[in-house]
Chain A
Amino acid sequence: MTDAKKRVTVIVMAIMVVAGVIVSFFLGQFDITVKELGGIIISQFTDIKPFWTSQQEHIFLTVRLPRILVACLVGTALSTAGCVYQGVFENPMAAPDFLGASSGAALGAAFAIIMGMGDWMITVMAFIFSLATIWLVYIIGNRTRGNKTVGLVLAGLMVSALAQAGTSFIKLVADQTNELPEITYWLMGSLTGITMNDVLFSGVVILIGIIPLVLLRWKINVLTVGEQEATTMGIHVSRVRLVSLVCATLVTAAAVSVSGMIGWVGLVVPHFCRKIVGNNYRYLLPASIFTGAFFLLMVDNISRNLFAVEIPIGILTAIIGAPFFIYLITKGGESA
């Protein structure tokens, strides 16, 4: 694929997100027509006489809209983080869940909940624990003998196991009437009960994290050829790596703090994009940003519409992600 075609592909992906969002406005238990939706949106800016029910307006503005936006934001965050981790660690197996960033964030959040901290602090603690986990995994992964790819994945597994043990212990000592349900609910990975405040909060943090990554995306390419070669090509490796890791972890933590643990997105979406636009981060990173949003939005539409009872989204991403990953490692060839 030529660079011009890659650029067009990325633009098409962006258009698909917008189209996906618009279609999702109409999906759900409460019916809403195009005209009614238009009216509700216009009424936010000017006074017009309602020809829709107040229930429709309430459902759209406080349930459906925030949920759609958060699905996009979380999908973008996880796939962008995975995409960046893969480059920075020179490792196709890197992803927020595999590196322990998600379980670290979960431990931080659980800790914040039993300490009685507020929403803001839950996210801050999720971020700090997530960053500490990634750092630990990186240090251990570098010290393993033999294959570094395997070493990093094993280190991720071990540190995740430790973080999960910590979370289990916190659940054990948590107050059974209010803290335990909050932690359990949080860990399940779900987009229900999202408010517009969640959208604003995660949106701002994810945007702050993604902007430097988009700007640095060419340099992330150079990091993938290895620390020494990148240094001789004039890259300040430790600085670019630190900024990339902090930003990727920040967006992971922001996503996990509003949605709980949603697996597989960070591994599978970047690899899907690699198949389509190639490995150059100039196109790969924007492609991951848009495809991540589109993917999680579609999965969430299935999760809330397909069956009478809502299926937690984390279950669905695993059902879609794991087989796709098996396809990648068997048929996918060596570019994975």
Chain B
Amino acid sequence: MISVKNLKFSYGNHEVLKGISFDAHPGELLCILGHNGAGKSTLFKCMLGLLKGYSGNIEIDGIDMSTMKPREKAMHVAYIPQATKPAFAYNVMDMVLMGTTSQLNGVGSPGADERRVATEALTKMGIEHLSNRDYTKISGGEQQMVLIARALAQGAKILVMDEPTSSLDYGNQMRVQKQLRQLVSEGYTIIQSTHNPEQTYVFADRIICIKDGVVHREGKPEAVMDEQLIRDMYNIDVEMIESEDHKVRFFELKDM
């Protein structure tokens, strides 16, 4: 379990996070909602150990993350970035093997054990056939799957994703989200930020809404996701439409 306790962070005089607290449990997919500049990325950077100098605590199973070495952090929390073009082209297997670096002792290179871990991760994501392909020459959806496989190979049980599907087409978005649900059912904790409230309603177990550097609302999607929330978060007036089986909710802009 990862616990964020009263987290505060400032860039210079600008206080971005003003005391954020929440927990995320194994087998839970947590979505972080917030408008641009609300501090989602800053929050993630603190959780990943990329930003230091925050106040408050981030604990994993009761252990303060700020006391961990980069390698120890990597064993607990993995980051799944948006797929971007790397400076050099690697094949998919090498990309996934990079995830195993934290398990290597000292200065070694990945060996048979690490290859097995990487192959398992590729198989789990259903992309083992891409193993020898050039990472820069596969589709955006496939690249995202590779980055998730890399995080799995890292061995961490907490996966942090910054808008994982924002650059993907609709089909790939759905495929990635389906895979994430599968991982959650296996006991992974997934914390992702997103710009799509409607999608969040379908896939998230719990939603945390960040506004003005604090947690504005938090809870199950059906309890939190309503017209008031959209108004508060994004400053637009909407009307909510819900399907009869209550499985999906849409928001329609008023005065259109």
Which residues of A does B touch, CB under 8 Å? 2, 86-87, 90-92, 149, 215-219, 221-222, 224-226, 228-229, 231-237, 274, 278-280, 282, 334-335
Contacts of A86 on B, CB cut-off 8 Å? Answer: 88
**Residue among B71, B87, B132, B150 facing the most chain A CB atoms (10 A cut-off):** B87
Cα A232 to Cα B102 in complex, Å, equals 9
Encoded as 1 (CB less than 8 Å from any A CB) or 0, chain B from 84 to 109 comes to 00111111001000110110100111
B199 to chain A: closest CB distance in Å?
A: 25
B102 touches A279 (CB 8 A): no
Are B107 and A91 within 8 A (Cβ)?
Answer: no
Q: Are B136 and A334 in contact (CB under 8 A)?
A: yes
**Nearest CB of A to B67, in Å:** 15
Q: A233-B78, A233-B102 are in contact. List 5 more A-B contacts (CB 8 A).
A: A222-B98, A224-B87, A232-B74, A234-B74, A278-B89
Query: Is B26 close to A, CB under 8 A?
Result: no
Do B110 and A234 touch (CB < 8 A)? no
Within 8 A of A (CB), among B193-228: none
| A218-B110, A279-B90 known; A233-B101 Cβ under 8 A | yes
Partner of A2, one of B75, B132, B154: B132
Q: Which of B70, B77, B81 has the most CB of A within 10 A?
A: B70
B87 near A90 with CB under 8 A, answer: yes
Contacts of B50 in A (CB 8 A): 228, 231-232
A234 touches which of B71, B81, B90, B108 (Cβ 8 Å): B71
Of all A-B residue pairs in the complex, the 7 with the closest CB atoms, nearest first, are A234-B74, A234-B102, A232-B79, A215-B107, A279-B88, A218-B109, A234-B71
B25 at the interface (CB under 8 A from A): no
Which of the residues A2, A92, A221, A237 comes within 8 Å of B90, measured between beta carbons? A221
Contact B89 A334 (CB under 8 A): yes
Cβ of A335 and Cβ of B88 under 8 Å apart? yes
Interchain CB contact under 8 A, A233 and B88: no
Q: B74 touching A282 by the CB < 8 A rule? A: no
User: Number of residue pairs across A and B with beta carbons under 8 Å?
Assistant: 89
Cα(A279)–Cα(B102), bound, Å: 21
Contact flags (1/0) for B121-145 with A, using CB distance below 8 Å?
Answer: 0000000000010101000000000
Categorize the interface residue count of chain B: 35 or more
On whether the beta carbons of A335 and B101 are closer than 8 Å, the reply is: no
Residues of A within 8 A of B150 (CB): 233
Q: Give the CA-CA distance A149 to B87 in the complex, in Å.
A: 9
**B131 CB, nearest partner CB in chain A, Å:** 11
| Interface hub of B75, B89, B110 (most chain A Cβ within 10 A) | B89
B31 in contact (CB, < 8 A): no
CB–CB B108/A218 < 8 A: yes
- Across the interface, which residues of A come within 8 angstroms of B90, CB to CB? 221, 278-280
Given contacts A224-B86, A279-B89, contact A234 B48 (CB under 8 A): no
Chain B residues within an 8 Å CB radius of A233: 74, 78, 98-99, 101-102, 150, 154
Q: What residues of chain B lie closer than 8 Å to A235, measured between beta carbons?
A: 70, 101
Q: Does B181 lie at the interface of the complex (its beta carbon under 8 Å from any beta carbon of A)?
A: no
- Determine if B73 is an interface residue (Cβ-Cβ < 8 Å): yes
**Complex: how many Å from CA A231 to CA B51?**
11
Pairwise interchain contact A236-B109, C-beta atoms closer than 8 A: no
Which residues of A lie under 8 Å from residue B75 when comparing CB positions?
234
A335 contacts which chain B residues (CB < 8 A)?
Answer: 88-89, 134, 136
